[in-house]
Amino acid sequence: MNRIIDFFRPSGLGFHLVIAAIVTLVLLWGTDIFLKKFTHLGKEVEMPNYVGKCYSDLRNSPSENFTFEVSRIKIFDESKPDGTVVKQEPLPGEKVKYGRKVTLTITTATPRMVKMPQLAGNITLRQAKHILEDSGLVLGTVVETESDSPGLVLGQYSEKTGKTIAAGTEIRQGEKIKLEVGVARRNPVDYGGDGDVYDDTEVDPQFEF
């Protein structure tokens, strides 16, 4: 019994261990209270709308409660100042936690060069539209041509010049691409008698995008 009493005397090891444990618990409790109060740890808020704002202003603002990173792909847009936010993830209005990382897509003053994809061949108009969007290009005029390959892309051209653009050619991001798409041939039908030839083929419906 005396050994136990001596162990917890102020000069004993047990006393110092108890004091250290109490201090540690108090520090942990205080840290938890501090984080919850001053950093809103675990609290959800509504994601602000950053579209249209300047990235440099957001990055240097001490009042923002989120961290920002820029998407690898930047959008060339002559109508907007360099560094303007055009897209964000998470989207505005979503419920997120404080400190969440926000990915921003911003504009650039220098047009990015992209390679023209191969569209003419065994690709439908709908597929071609998605490929163009993924490549940073824009679908322009669609011209229909009678063909044995209805529904497929037959040719790819510059909307501006009308010239064919070969796959792999480097062009500016955001350029409009004109596509030639096949439609079913009109089948002539001879009704006899006068030798005249008529066409009873229905016109193909509009292509879906």
Pair type for strands 67-70 and 101-108: parallel
pLDDT per residue over 145-171, tens digit each?
Answer: 999 999 999 999 999 999 999 999 999
pLDDT exceeds 70 at position 186: yes
For residue range 12-23, what is the model confidence (pLDDT) as tens digits? 555 566 667 777
CATH class for domain 113-192? Answer: alpha beta
Q: How far apart are CA 190 and CA 202, in angstroms?
A: 16
- Indicate the residue type of 55: Y
The residue with tokens 């790819």 is: 156
Least confident range of 3-12, 139-148, 171-180: 3-12
DSSP for residue 168: T
Residue ranges covered by each domain of the chain: 2-38, 44-108, 113-192
Domains 44-108 and 113-192 share a fold: yes
Q: CB–CB of 139/129 below 8 Å?
A: yes
Residues contacting 156, CB < 8 A, separation 6+: 116, 119, 120, 164, 165, 167, 177, 178, 179, 180
Which token pair is 116? 């023209």
DSSP-assigned states of every residue in 19-85:
HHHHHHHHHHHHHHHHHHHHS-TT-EEEPP--TTSBHHHHHT-TT--SEEEE-SS-EE-TTS-TTBE
Higher pLDDT, 62 or 142: 142
Pair of tokens at residue 16: 């110092």
Pick the CATH number of 44-108 from 1.10.357.10, 3.30.10.20, 3.40.30.10, 3.40.50.150: 3.30.10.20
The 10s digit of each residue's pLDDT in 13-54 is: 555 666 677 778 777 776 666 555 555 555 788 999 999 999
Q: Are the C-beta atoms of residues 111 and 172 closer than 8 Å to each other?
A: yes
DSSP structure class, residue 135: T
